[in-house]
């Protein structure tokens, strides 16, 4: 038997790792409370519990115990919870991720306990497989596949349940996802069950993977900063942009309570909307700004950087900096424009005179 597994074998093994990241799965049902609002009561047994929703249509602001907490959309399908009893309410709008108008469907909620150890191993493994497929370097490909093969020996496949397979296929688009209706049947419930692999086994596998690949590439430091790019005027009405801001800010605040990262958010207009729509959440953002973890981005909105006159740019800086100074006690030091196709030559001078220290963009044309 060859020491190195094939692409298909490794992909399937990782699929089972992803499925095994879902544990203690409990199907639930929404109660309709009118106006595209749906509610469910949950009893979380640990701080690793999540409400996972599949097959929904539209976007939703999620409130946990009445407080804006998270979003449901194309990029957010897991609602983190803390231990205890909660009432989760989802308020849907009929807009999909790129402005498509759809018929609202709240989908199917499941309360699960997540193994973040298994999830991290799957995430690392997927990136390694993608790199191995893309590289033209045979030696690098062999090293990547050998390392992944060796790591996965630490978590031998034993069994997996029907619900684990279903959630993984729907949420991650796994290799057998197209045939999910054929292979994930009720009959599996009589054959397979959740395995008892401990988190330490997945952590050990990830440690092996990191150790085998630790000597690659040039030594350096990579800095990652979170950001949510939201167009004020886009493919939906302003009212939906405003709801999108509330959903996004609530999601980021929730994540920043759980994970240590830095986040930058542009557009003073969005902070004004938040102040008007949810003063308590605004206060939480202000606390994160005070801690230096949430970075203010100058500008009233993320403007088109080609068409504006110098006077208009000056107003952008004046209005946003005045707002930030009044409500946060400080000026923004970053001009964050990630989505404009070129830049007016007056921007550097105006930005410097507006107390801006850094300009950041990453549009690739």
pLDDT of residue 1: 40
Tokens 């996972």 label which residue? 52
Q: Which of 298, 328, 293 is nearest to 315 (CA)?
A: 298
Residue stretches of the chain with pLDDT short of 50: 1-2, 177-178, 181
Percentages of the chain per state (helix, strand, coil), in multiples of 5: 40, 20, 35
Is residue 336 within a helix (H) or strand (E), and if so which, with residue range? strand 334-336
- What DSSP letter does each residue of 253-293 carry, written as one string? HHHHHHS---EEE--HHHHHHHHHH-HHHHHHHHHHHHTTS
Tokens of 207: 């440690």
Fold of 23-114: Immunoglobulin-like (2.60.40)
Query: What's the burial of 338, exposed, middle or buried (CB within 10 Å: 0-12/13-18/19+)?
Result: middle
CATH architecture of 226-360: Alpha-Beta Barrel (3.20)
Distance CA 356, CA 350 (A): 9
Q: How many CB atoms lie within 10 A of CB 215?
A: 8
Distance CA 337, CA 308 (A): 14
Instruction: Give, as one character, the DSSP assignment of residue 185.
Output: -
pLDDT digits (tens, 9 = 90+) for 237-257: 999 999 999 999 999 999 999
Report pTM: 0.90
φ, ψ for residue 311, nearest 5 deg? -65, -40
Q: Domains of the chain: which residue ranges?
A: 7-21+117-213, 23-114, 226-360
Does this chain's domain 23-114 share its CATH topology with 226-360? Answer: no
Distance CA 68, CA 251 (A): 8
CA distance from start to end of the chain? 48
Tokens 């040039």 label which residue? 218
């Amino acid at each position: 038997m060859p020491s190195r597994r094939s692409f298909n074998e490794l992909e399937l093994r990782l699929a089972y790792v992803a499925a095994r990241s879902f544990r203690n799965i409990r199907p639930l049902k929404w109660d309709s409370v009118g106006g595209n609002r749906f509610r469910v009561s949950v009893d979380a047994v640990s701080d690793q519990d999540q409400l996972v929703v599949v097959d929904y249509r539209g976007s939703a602001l999620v409130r946990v115990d009445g407080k804006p907490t998270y979003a449901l959309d194309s990029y957010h399908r897991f609602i983190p919870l803390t231990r205890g009893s909660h009432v989760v309410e989802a308020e849907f709008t009929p807009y999909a991720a790129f402005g498509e108008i759809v018929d609202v469907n709240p989908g199917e909620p499941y309360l699960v306990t997540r193994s973040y150890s298994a999830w991290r191993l799957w995430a690392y493994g997927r990136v390694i497989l993608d790199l191995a497929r893309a590289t033209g370097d045979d030696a690098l490909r062999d090293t990547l596949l050998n390392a992944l093969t060796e790591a996965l020996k630490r978590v031998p496949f034993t069994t997996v349940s029907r619900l684990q397979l279903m959630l993984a296929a729907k949420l991650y688009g796994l290799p057998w996802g197209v045939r999910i209706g054929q292979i994930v049947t009720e009959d599996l419930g009589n054959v397979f069950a959740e395995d008892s692999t401990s988190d330490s086994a997945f952590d050990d596998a990830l440690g092996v993977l990191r150790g085998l690949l630790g000597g690659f590439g040039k030594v350096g430091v990579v800095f990652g900063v979170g950001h949510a790019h939201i167009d004020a005027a886009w493919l939906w009405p302003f009212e939906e942009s405003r709801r999108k801001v509330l959903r996004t800010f609530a999601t980021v605040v929730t994540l920043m309570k759980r994970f240590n990262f830095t986040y930058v958010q542009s557009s003073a207009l969005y902070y004004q909307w938040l102040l008007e729509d949810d003063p308590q959440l605004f206060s939480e953002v202000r606390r994160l700004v005070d801690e230096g973890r949430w970075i203010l981005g100058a500008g009233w909105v993320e403007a088109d950087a080609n068409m504006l006159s110098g006077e208009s740019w000056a107003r952008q800086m004046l209005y946003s900096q005045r707002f930030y100074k009044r409500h946060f006690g400080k000026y923004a030091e970053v001009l964050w424009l990630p989505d404009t196709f070129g830049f007016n030559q007056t921007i550097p001078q105006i930005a410097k005179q507006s107390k801006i220290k850094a300009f950041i963009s990453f549009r690739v044309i």
